[in-house]
Amino acid sequence: MSKVEATAYQAAMLRALALANQSPRFGQNPQVGAVLINDQGEILAEGLHRGAGTAHAEIDALNNLAAKNLSAQGLTALVTLEPCNHTGITGPCAKALVEAGIKKVIFGTADPGEAEGGGRLTLEQAGVEVLDGLYEKECRVIIAPWFVNKFEKRPYVIIKWAASLDGRTAAADTSSKWITGAESRHDVHARRSQSQAILVGTNTVEVDDPELTARKPDGELYPDQPLRVIIGQRKISKDKRIFDEAAETIQLETHDLAEAMTTLFERGVNQVFVEGGSKIESELVKAGFADEFLIYLAPKLLGGPAVAIGDIGVGSIDRALDLEIIETLKLGNDILVRAVKKES
């Protein structure tokens, strides 16, 4: 592969990743993007998967190419996920690429599905050149929620906290408004609006009385509001703000996190955004249910006992939970660190 080709492939896969990020999040199918390029690296068509029952990204790209009256003969397809090899609601993408005349397929990460996988073999048996692993980490991050849903049969869990640089979520007098700046808070609300459910413990509801709605910077509610979930057996007064009419609220009267995850998943919740407190977040980490971390850090030192996270079952440094930072973002004076569990 020449340096020019490598550069063209990298640019095309980055575009495919951007398309995948436009695909519906936390749906029945993974987010996937695809682009079709010629030998000069020019993108002739692109596609994405728009949800269960719609065309897969590769088919969407082929359809868009046909709409331009262009042929796929001799083109290269770059796809974030290995083309599928099974017939479900839609046909196998690997076969469609072969029949269209695609000469080379480059995908980011292999399809782990037992039924869906095998596309590479089908392509190679038909004489199509296949390469993989281009931006594999980024491609795996995109399909991680679907992977958890499909193989662990539970929601994808995002743990969020805001803290000072020394990891404190409140001062010694328990005051915490506001550790982070307005930009960070706006970012949290935007992410809430993209979530299916927000989960908190009963203590957070009693002490902080949060509303847990998703609001725009001007205070207006986002059109889509997540389900508000309280976990714990303590009786909560219905006059708390979390029970207002801005969004639906349920309480799972259990301390069994596995039971709670199953209940939410059976309800159709594929993703949970956890906003505290430290006890429930620590327990989720300890139980192995924490898939992603959103940590908002403010350039402040507070000291004191109000740590962001408590005991997670790590008794020694060699048992530390290793994370991989997948994104950092400057938000005003704050920094957002986005991390996932490092694969063993």
User: How wide is the angle at C-alpha 60 spanned by C-alphas 55 and 66, nearest 5°?
Assistant: 130
pLDDT score, position 6: 81
- pLDDT tens per residue across all 344 residues of the chain: 677 678 899 999 999 999 999 999 888 899 999 999 999 999 999 999 999 889 999 999 999 999 999 999 999 999 999 999 887 777 899 999 999 999 999 999 998 876 556 899 999 999 999 999 999 999 999 999 999 999 999 999 999 999 999 999 999 998 888 999 999 999 999 999 999 999 999 999 998 899 999 999 999 999 999 999 999 999 999 999 999 999 999 999 999 999 999 999 999 999 999 998 889 999 999 999 999 999 999 999 999 999 999 999 998 999 999 999 999 999 999 999 999 988 76
Exposure b/e, 45-62, CB count within 10 A at least 16 = b: bbbbbbeeebbbbbbbbb
| Residue ranges with strand state E in the chain | 33-37, 43-48, 76-81, 104-109, 129-132, 156-164, 197-201, 227-231, 249-252, 271-274, 292-298, 323-331, 334-341
Q: How far apart are CA 132 and CA 317, in angstroms?
A: 35
Enumerate the H helices of the chain as residue ranges.
3-20, 57-67, 93-100, 119-125, 136-152, 182-193, 202-208, 257-266, 278-286
Q: How far apart are CA 11 and CA 188, in angstroms?
A: 30
Looking at residue 129, its amino acid is E
CB 282 within 8 A of CB 167: no
Residues 6+ apart with CB under 8 A from 329: 187, 335, 336, 338
Q: How far apart are CA 333 and CA 324, in angstroms?
A: 23
> By C-alpha distance, which of 256, 45, 27, 61 is closest to 143?
27
pLDDT score, position 114: 62
Which pair of structure tokens corresponds to residue 281? 């977040």
User: How wide is the angle at C-alpha 212 spanned by C-alphas 206 and 216, nearest 5°?
Assistant: 150
> By C-alpha distance, which of 257, 314, 262 is closest to 287?
257
Alpha-carbon Rg of the chain, whole angstroms? 23
Residues 6+ apart with CB under 8 A from 166: 301, 302, 303
Q: Which domains does the chain have, with CATH numbers?
A: 3-149 (3.40.140.10), 153-341 (3.40.430.10)
- Catalytic residue IDs: 58
pLDDT score, position 344: 66
